[in-house]
């Protein structure tokens, strides 16, 4: 059932017996904070961004908070080699929001054909080449994580402390993985990157 509230169309999936919304979707727009419309704990998913919001407030005063999110992207050998000049998108930009990283996980499957060259790896804001974007990590992944001998390894990094960052530097901007110094070469391994994050 569709409801139009404050200029936003809600597609209602579930309601309580008293008609309060428990679950709904929108496609863009702003989630209403209208009294007596949503139950506490109600969820609204924005189909334009895939972000799910939970009402942590009351029926009288809804308060919407984005759930923790994560995105996993598989990287081919060609992408690992090319990401120095052509960073790979991990999390697309969310209109009007800044993506704040909670953790980065990097799993690599190295083969007998080792990667060579290259430099430190990080997930960064924007698609700036050569790993020169604003890093989301407190520390980078060493080049040796990529260039080591055959085997599968797991690495985790905690987020960088963002302090007094200009809004324009992180709002409406996606996250990309790149590396510094030089491109990796010759390897045939693969990797997966998982970024856990929230939006503000």
Instruction: Please tell me the pTM assigned to this model.
Output: 0.74
Q: Where are the chain's structural domains?
A: 2-66, 69-199
Which is it for strands 116-117 and 184-185: parallel, antiparallel or unpaired? antiparallel
Q: Is 49 a residue whose pLDDT tops 80?
A: no
78-102 pLDDT per residue, tens: 999 999 999 999 999 988 889 999 9
List the structure tokens of 167: 């809004």
Domain 69-199: CATH architecture, name and number where available: Sandwich (2.60)
Task: In whole angstroms, give the CA distance from residue 129 to residue 88.
Answer: 10
Spatial contact of 187 and 59, defined as CB atoms under 8 Å apart: no
Task: In whole angstroms, give the CA distance from residue 115 to residue 148.
Answer: 8
Task: In whole angstroms, give the CA distance from residue 177 to residue 183.
Answer: 13
């Amino acid at each position: 059932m569709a409801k139009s509230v404050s200029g936003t169309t809600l597609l209602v999936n579930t309601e309580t017996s008293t008609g309060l919304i428990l679950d709904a979707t929108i496609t863009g727009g702003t989630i209403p904070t209208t009294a007596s419309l949503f139950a506490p704990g109600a969820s609204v998913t924005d189909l334009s961004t895939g972000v799910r919001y939970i009402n942590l407030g009351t029926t009288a005063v809804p308060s919407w908070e984005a759930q923790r999110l994560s995105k996993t992207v598989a990287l081919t050998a060609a992408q690992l080699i090319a990401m120095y000049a052509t960073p790979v998108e991990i999390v697309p930009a969310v209109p009007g929001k800044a993506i704040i990283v909670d953790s980065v996980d990097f799993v690599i499957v190295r083969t007998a054909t080792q990667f060579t060259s290259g430099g430190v790896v990080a997930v960064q804001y924007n698609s700036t080449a050569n790993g020169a974007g604003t890093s989301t990590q407190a520390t980078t992944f060493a080049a040796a994580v990529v260039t080591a001998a055959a085997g599968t390894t797991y690495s985790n990094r905690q987020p960088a402390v963002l302090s007094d960052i200009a809004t324009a530097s992180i709002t409406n901007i996606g996250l990309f993985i790149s590396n510094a110094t030089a491109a990796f070469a010759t390897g045939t391994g693969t990797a997966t990157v998982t970024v856990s994050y929230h939006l503000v």
